[in-house]
Structure 1
Amino acid sequence: MSFLVLVLVLWVEKFSALRQRLQRDGLFLGELQRLERSGKAAPAWALTLLVLAPVVVLVLLLHVLEPVAYGLLALPLHLLVLIYSLGRGDVKASLGPFRDAWRRGDDQAALHAAERDLGLQAEDAGSLIKRVQGHLLWQAYQSFFAVVFWYFLLGPAAALAYRLLALCAGHSRQPGIQALAAQLRHAMDWLPVRVVAVSFALVGNFVAVTRVMLHALLDWHVSAGHLVAQVGRVADDIPEEEGHQQGLARLDTLWELLLRCAVLWYACFALWTVLA
């Protein structure tokens, strides 16, 4: 059933606006703010209420539904949870204003668009394009690959836990809650980001990626964002210095790299489903 749900997610993404209607975080963020305002909830207790409790409820609900009608009643729940757990927004669309400014050669407008739309800051145009390329790789990873990895490995509860931790880490105003959520998310990122790196090696520059991964494979402290950006650029043979328009064109080649990686994953999922 997992592979069927993954295929349905692609169909929903392409032909439906269900994702935009379903991904409403107001209730969750409101509860997060309420706990922070109370000042009485320790970070561990707050995350227990915000993350663990919904995950446990989901596990119990799936335990009840999956034996009924050969799991057909659980299928819509799997699909809805997975769609909710995907990243927020459209990664490619968010790059539009930056790409327009960069294509015109207006560095100041590009810096402003990157800060306004992507939350990125840089001292000069050369470092900005590298940060935007890394942003594209990170957003694709955390929006899709990490969620799909945990869904296929452990089911919808793990995918939901990943997204709820990401929301807590990104929106919490209490340092304790934010730090603990970020640590737990880092733990959940450790394995999938390395699987993605291996996938980049298989669909990109294998030798160059292997060279980088020899140093980072077992390094607990390297962040997922840094690793996926570094490995993605290496896999796409992006030099440290390149022309103005070549840097913009690299956004398209990086997107193609991500698409090849996604196709590889789905091929592996299909093969596993057939052989299992």
Structure 2
Amino acid sequence: MDLLTLIIAIAFVQVWGAENPLHKDGWFVQWCDGLQARLKASAIREYTWLVAVLVPVLCVWLLAEAVGAVSAWLLLPISVVVMLYSLGRGEFTNIVSEYTKACYVEDWPSAMERAQRLGVHTDGVDEGDWSALHEQVLTEAGYRGFERSFVIIFWFLITGPVVALLYRLLFIYCQQRPSEDLPAKCLWAMEWPVTRLLGLSFAFTGNFVGCYNRLKECLICFKRSSQEVLTQSILGALSVDENLTQSCEVTRKELDLLSKLYKRTLWFWLASAALIIIVVH
């Protein structure tokens, strides 16, 4: 049932692309704002984020339990909807492709606009400093590809759609309130095992030796951010020489290869999940 849910969800994503009609987060933002206003003078105000995330998750869990008690097949559409909501928002592949085209012709304004759409903070980047921009875009693109799908798929296959939803709501909360430290740490903790597993997967779908050599220092590290670990794994999988000077052409190729690496790894995960489910059952 889990594999069927995942396949249906991914099929819908392929059809909808960036226009996922379930990606409406206004209700959650309003809920967080209202909750923060009500608990501002409360003794539990420091845990507003926990209440904000857990209440909707618990409601979905209770609904799933009630429906699942009646029929497992009735639970299927609920699981698909939760998964579709939990998967990442907006465009990704198209923006990366547009950035690489702008990079190729050295169109700085267009490249900056695409980088900002990816979520790159470009305030500290000097005009014409392609090297600094490339580095930030590669890091952000790697993380966006990760949080959009792989971390959701991991928690879905391990624990079910409810925890996948928990991650997405926590991610949205952290995006809205980046200054709050505790929810950010919890988000990092949920990403910690997935970044390592994805890095190991890159070793099989990319350059094994290069990826492992870069990843081995991160495997049991509890200080590096998710972005740092992913960047090291990606550069290793793409056989990028760490001593190679960043240039427009080099980074354009890296980003082209990054999209292909993520596609191969997604299919690798789906095939591995199907094999494990068949063997277990």
TM-score norm. by structure 2 comes to 0.89
Select 1:168's aligned residue among 173, 181, 194.
173
Q: Deviation string for 1:35-91 (max 9, x for gaps)?
A: 33442354553123211112222222211111323x111000100001101111111
Instruction: Report the alpha carbon displacement of residue 120 of structure 1 after superposing the two structures with TM.
Output: 3.1
Q: 1:275 to 1:224 in 2, by over 3 A?
A: same
- Give the conservation status (yes or no) of the 8 Å contact 1:65–1:73: yes
Report the more deviating stretch, 27-36 or 106-115: 106-115
Paired with 1:6 and 1:130, the residues of 2 have a C-alpha distance of 33
Partner of 1:220: 222
Paired with 2:85 and 2:138, the residues of 1 have a C-alpha distance of 25
Gaps of 5+ in 2: none
Code of the aligned partner of 1:32: C
Matches within 5 A, 1:224-263: 224-239=226-241, 240-263=244-267
Partner of 1:76: 77
Gaps of 5+ in 1: none
Matches within 5 A, 1:1-276: 1-16=1-16, 20-38=20-38, 39-40=40-41, 42=44, 44-69=46-71, 71-95=72-96, 97-115=98-116, 118-121=119-122, 122-123=125-126, 124-172=129-177, 175=179, 178-239=180-241, 240-276=244-280
Paired with 1:35 and 1:56, the residues of 2 have a C-alpha distance of 16
Q: 1:183 to 1:256 in 2, by over 3 A?
A: same
Paired with 1:12 and 1:81, the residues of 2 have a C-alpha distance of 13
Instruction: Report the alpha carbon displacement of residue 210 of structure 1 after superposing the two structures with TM.
Output: 1.6
Paired with 2:263 and 2:118, the residues of 1 have a C-alpha distance of 23
Paired with 2:23 and 2:41, the residues of 1 have a C-alpha distance of 29
Instruction: Report the alpha carbon displacement of residue 96 of structure 1 after superposing the two structures with TM.
Output: 5.2
Paired with 1:136 and 1:237, the residues of 2 have a C-alpha distance of 17
Task: Looking at secondary structure, tell me which structure has more helix per residue.
Answer: 1
Paired with 2:168 and 2:120, the residues of 1 have a C-alpha distance of 20
Code of the aligned partner of 2:95: S
Instruction: Report the alpha carbon displacement of residue 243 of structure 1 after superposing the two structures with TM.
Output: 4.2
- Give the conservation status (yes or no) of the 8 Å contact 2:18–2:89: no
Paired with 2:112 and 2:4, the residues of 1 have a C-alpha distance of 42
Report the more deviating stretch, 229-238 or 149-158: 229-238
Output the aligned Cα RMSD: 2.1
Q: 1:99 to 1:37 in 2, by over 3 A?
A: farther
Q: 1:109 to 1:19 in 2, by over 3 A?
A: closer
- Give the conservation status (yes or no) of the 8 Å contact 1:91–1:139: yes
Q: 1:109 to 1:161 in 2, by over 3 A?
A: same
- Give the conservation status (yes or no) of the 8 Å contact 1:43–1:180: no
**How many equivalent residue pairs?**
272
Code of the aligned partner of 1:45: Y
Q: Deviation string for 1:145-199 (max 9, x for gaps)?
A: 00100000000111011001101111027x4xx2121011011011111100000
Paired with 1:116 and 1:207, the residues of 2 have a C-alpha distance of 33
Paired with 2:213 and 2:4, the residues of 1 have a C-alpha distance of 36
Paired with 2:246 and 2:120, the residues of 1 have a C-alpha distance of 24
Q: Deviation string for 1:99-142 (max 9, x for gaps)?
A: 34322212354235423653332341012112212222110101
Paired with 2:150 and 2:103, the residues of 1 have a C-alpha distance of 28
Secondary structure of 1:73 counterpart: helix
Code of the aligned partner of 1:3: L
